[in-house]
Structure 1
Amino acid sequence: MGERAPMAKYLELGSGRGTTSMYLANRGCDVTLADLSGEALKQAEANFQREGLERPKTVVADARDSGLPPRTFDCIYNIGLLEHFEDPRPVLRETVRLLRPGGLGFMVIVPEIPNHRSWLPQLLFCPWRPFVDESRRWARRLLGRGQLQTASTILRTSYQRQQYETWMREAGTAGDWCSCSPYNPYHRVYMSELLERWVLVPCYTAHHRLHQRHPRMRTWNSVAQCDLLLYRKSEDSPPE
């Protein structure tokens, strides 16, 4: 994407309050925010204004069918969107439709209960959290998911990474690459803000710098909190 900047166009699909897009806007990138909630987009505009940034372009739209013109954006990204859909394939197809040939997709997936991918940091910094998550999962099974749809227990799925890769290729990236890999190895510290500031953040910073020096280093499954879906639309993809 650095080769295309500053002419590249970015879309945060399912932007929420737009905190991710503020980092790009602060670097002069052309960003568009799309979300199903108009209130969330108003909050995003307020966040941009508070940081002294130009008001972003916003669109009230469904991530599965945005109504935006095809082949409009060079990069589509979001954090924590795909896991909220029982069937994320319509969202993936929409991102492929909106991307220009050669465009990139960057989607962070936060699974329903990531204990099997983040047991080590949770054991160290938040040892009671796995029991809470496991109790919540069994309550959903016994009572039905619809009985527990509160602000803290919204729908989250836990599909395998290979499944996302398969769906992504079916959506139209065949002939180019896509990858879903472990991501974000350090868990948020609920125990102490000071512990998070003085222990977790320095560890994360060291990991980031090491990854910059050795780009092929991957996050271990045992400490991954999220998954990262990366894909590139084929340069010779047919018109939608």
Structure 2
Amino acid sequence: MAQPRTGRSLRYRRVLVKLSGEALMGKNGYGIDVEVLNQVAADICEAADLGLELCLVVGGGNIYRGLAAATDGMDRVSGDYMGMLATVLNGLALGQALEARGRSARVMSAIPMISICEPFIRARALAHLADGHLLVLVGGTGNPFFTTDTTAALRAAEMGCDAIFKATQVDGVYDSDPAKNPKARRYDALSYDDVLRQDLRIMDGAAIALARDNRIPIIVFSIKEKGGLAAVLQGKGSSTTIS
């Protein structure tokens, strides 16, 4: 169990944080909003200061979505590879923002591109964590037809993470869209089977099943709240735990 600098013990020693690409685009509707990027990086650094080990998986939906492109006639495989490259752009930006705040970050890609970042090699990634680096894992799984949600569950299992923290725009899982339904009810806890049976779509089915099979809890929280990640890690604030 991690011993944070605050002196308070944490429930988790090593966690994986899943960020969507949309979390970085702010109100622009596309691309990377530098102000939002810096706020996300600051929140991650605050969480790292608690003394736990952090892996990060970032999506690419703010730049490109392979599945959406396929509906417009583009070949799905080519579209997915383009989406994977979009995650690399986001990961490089996030890694730089973390470094600018004094945190050593290693960007590792499932698609080898050694002139830009390190290839994802599990043994090397574990060594980086042991040396105190933050890991930014990009390139998806390196294969088409798999989402970055599935990547997050896969990497969490590979890296021996104690939990997956899924960053969203709301403070947990609701029975309907709280932006459209003011009476939407937030769940404090759900089972993996509840999520699949009710088709809640917090993460895709493959990701939920992979987390379930490896007994990795998923904590859904809001990335919009300043300091939200650190708060949830310490058992504060609103979130939903899927286990």
Q: For this structure pair, what is the TM-score category when the shorter chain's length is used for normalisation?
A: 0.3 to 0.5
Q: Report the TM-score when normalising by structure 1.
A: 0.38
Larger radius of gyration: 1
